[in-house]
A and B are shown apart, each in its own frame.
Chain A
Amino acid sequence: LPAALGRGCLGRWLLATRGWAPLGARTPSCTCPRWQHQAPLLLGAARQSFGTRAGGLKAAKPGDSSKDVSVQRALNEETLVSAAQKVKEAGRDFTYFIVVLVGIGVTGGLFYVIFKELFSSSSPNKIYGDALEKCRSHPEIIGVFGDSIKGYGEATRRGRRQHVSHIEYVKDGLKHMRLKFYIEGTESGKQGTVHVEVKENLETGRFEVRYIFVDVETYPRRTIVIEDNR
Chain B
Amino acid sequence: MEEYAREPCPWRIVDDCGGAFTMGAIGGGIFQAIKGFRNSPVGVNHRLRGSLTAIKTRAPQLGGSFAVWGGLFSMIDCSMVRMRGKEDPWNSITSGALTGAILAARNGPVAMVGSAAMGGILLALIEGAGILLTRFASTQFPNGKEPAEDMSQ
Contact = CB atoms under 8 A, between A and B. Distances in A.
Interface of A: 1-2, 5, 9, 12-13, 15-17, 19-21, 23-24, 31-32, 39-41, 43-48, 50-51, 107, 109-114, 117-118, 125, 128-129, 132, 148-153, 155, 158-163, 167, 169, 171, 178, 182, 191, 193, 195, 197, 211, 213, 223, 225, 228, 230
Given A46-B122, A47-B69, A114-B89, A158 B129 contact: no
Contacts of B27: 44-45
Contact of A148 (B9, B67, B85, B153): B85
A162 B88 contact: yes
B61 A15 contact: yes
B149 A230 contact: yes
8 contacts: A1-B14, A17-B106, A40-B125, A47-B69, A111-B128, A117-B131, A159-B12, A228-B153
Interface residues of B, number: 63
B64 A12 contact: yes
B111 to A, nearest CB: 8
B110 interface: no
A31 B71 contact: no
A50 to B, nearest CB: 6
Nearest to A169: B145
A32 B67 contact: no
B45 interface: no
Contacts of B66: 44, 47
B132 A113 contact: yes
A119 to B, nearest CB: 11
B17 interface: yes
**4 nearest CB pairs, A to B:** A159-B8, A114-B128, A110-B128, A150-B85
Given A16-B65, A110-B132, A211-B150, A161 B124 contact: no
